[in-house]
């Protein structure tokens, strides 16, 4: 199942807002459709957001009528900034857009630039599938047959090109005939764990148990949880990690129960320009996400604080799992080394 697909005249995305009730694909025909799909969470998950934004920029560029390269680059920068304004926390969005911008910096003609943008966006998606599989292989080396592993939000196949990041070891374990038991936190207020992770894993035949977020401590104790694994939207240079709201709380509980807490993410999620978690912008979303469920009001009209993400301090993270391998502690020193071959 592809979360994002490129077509010559449009982009097709899996509408994650419609899950689990129906499997629906939407056609994004212009840059405004792409921006709206990202903002309204029809497409979500840091890698999927990056892929969609990249395709969106390539799609927008196809419509430019100018043959002047300077004008082309001016219009491209405008649309890059527009797409970048959709969501502030997931660094993959900016990484993908900037990668496309760099790919056409030395284009000799507008036609060459348009073709290059499409090619680069497709490469991002193809590479992401390989990256996610490698993340899954490294993560799976940490677990034993029969382990019970807790996760939050959805860092799965529908949030990436394939396999996912935090959910990749579950998919790969299934392929290899190994049993991992997933415990999925529902992930209030938008319920990505309930709607998406439990759906995705059950569709794949993975044993998954759904819990409410406030059941996490009791579940860790009663069900003897082996580990916690989560995705990431941005990892700072010191290892502080921004992820879906509730992740920080899970890390604190894991520490209390002496359970390893792992972050699974591609190199594109690591932001060495952001020194610590205090420098990561935290998106705040509409109050209706908290006061309503399925369009039905469940709370009176009061003040609401609705941060979409929180930041887990690096000292609570046992290891960070990337396509290049797993690093344990001393992240400020070790994270930059992951990029040495990439930039060589």
Of 244, 235, 316, the C-alpha closest to 283 is 244
Edge-to-edge strands, sheet with 25-28: 4-6, 11-14, 25-28
Task: Assess contact for 110 and 67: CB atoms under 8 A.
Answer: yes
2 is in an annotated binding site: no
Separation CA 221–CA 219 (nearest Å): 5
Of 137, 134, 158, 150, the C-alpha closest to 51 is 158
Tell me, yes or no, if 98 is annotated catalytic.
no
45 is in an annotated binding site: yes
Residue from 79, 147, 233, 240 carrying the catalytic annotation: 233
Token reading at 101: 């911008």
Query: What letter does residue 155 receive in the DSSP assignment?
Result: -
294 is in an annotated binding site: no
Task: Assess contact for 191 and 165: CB atoms under 8 A.
Answer: no
CA distances from 38 to 32, 43, 230, 255 (A): 10, 5, 21, 34
Q: Quick check: helix, strand or coil at residue 19?
A: coil
Q: Quick check: helix, strand or coil at residue 271?
A: strand
44 is in an annotated binding site: yes
Edge-to-edge strands, sheet with 270-271: 270-271, 234-236, 241-244, 309-312
Enumerate helices (H) and strands (E) in the chain, giving the number of each.
13, 16
Please identify which residue in the block is written with the tokens 């000799």.
108
87 is in an annotated binding site: yes
Annotated binding site for substrate: 44-46, 87, 192, 243-244
Which positions are annotated as active-site residues?
233
């Amino acid at each position: 199942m592809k979360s994002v697909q490129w077509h010559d005249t449009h982009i097709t995305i899996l509408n994650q807002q419609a899950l689990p009730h129906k499997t629906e694909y939407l056609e994004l025909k212009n840059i405004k459709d792409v921006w709206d799909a990202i903002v309204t969470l029809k497409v979500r998950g840091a890698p999927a957001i990056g892929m969609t934004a990249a395709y969106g920029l390539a799609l927008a560029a196809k419509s430019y009528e100018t043959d002047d390269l300077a004008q082309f680059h001016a219009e491209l920068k405008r649309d890059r900034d527009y797409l970048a304004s959709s969501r502030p926390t997931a660094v993959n969005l900016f990484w993908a857009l900037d990668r496309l911008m760099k790919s056409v910096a030395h284009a000799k003609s507008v036609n060459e630039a348009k073709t290059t943008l499409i090619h680069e966006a497709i490469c991002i998606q193809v590479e992401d599938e390989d990256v996610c599989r490698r993340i899954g292989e490294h993560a799976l080396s940490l677990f034993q047959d029969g382990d019970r592993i807790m996760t939050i939000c959805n860092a799965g196949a529908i949030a990436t090109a394939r396999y996912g990041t935090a959910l990749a070891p579950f998919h790969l374990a299934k392929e290899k005939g190994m049993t991992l038991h997933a415990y999925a936190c529902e992930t209030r207020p938008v319920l990505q764990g309930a709607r998406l992770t439990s759906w995705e894993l059950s569709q794949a035949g993975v044993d998954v148990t759904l819990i409410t977020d406030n059941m996490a401590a009791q579940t860790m104790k009663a069900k003897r949880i082996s580990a916690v694994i989560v995705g990431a939207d941005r990892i700072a240079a010191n290892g502080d990690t921004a992820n879906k709201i509730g992740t920080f709380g899970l890390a604190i509980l894991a520490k209390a129960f002496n359970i390893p807490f792992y972050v699974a993410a591609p190199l594109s999620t690591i932001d060495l320009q952001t020194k610590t978690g205090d420098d990561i912008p935290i998106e705040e979303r509409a109050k209706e996400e908290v006061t309503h469920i399925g369009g039905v009001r469940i709370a009176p009209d009061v003040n609401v604080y609705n941060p979409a993400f929180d930041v887990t301090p690096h000292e609570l993270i046992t290891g960070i799992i990337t396509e290049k391998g797993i690093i344990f502690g001393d992240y400020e020193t070790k994270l930059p080394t992951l990029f040495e071959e990439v930039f060589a």
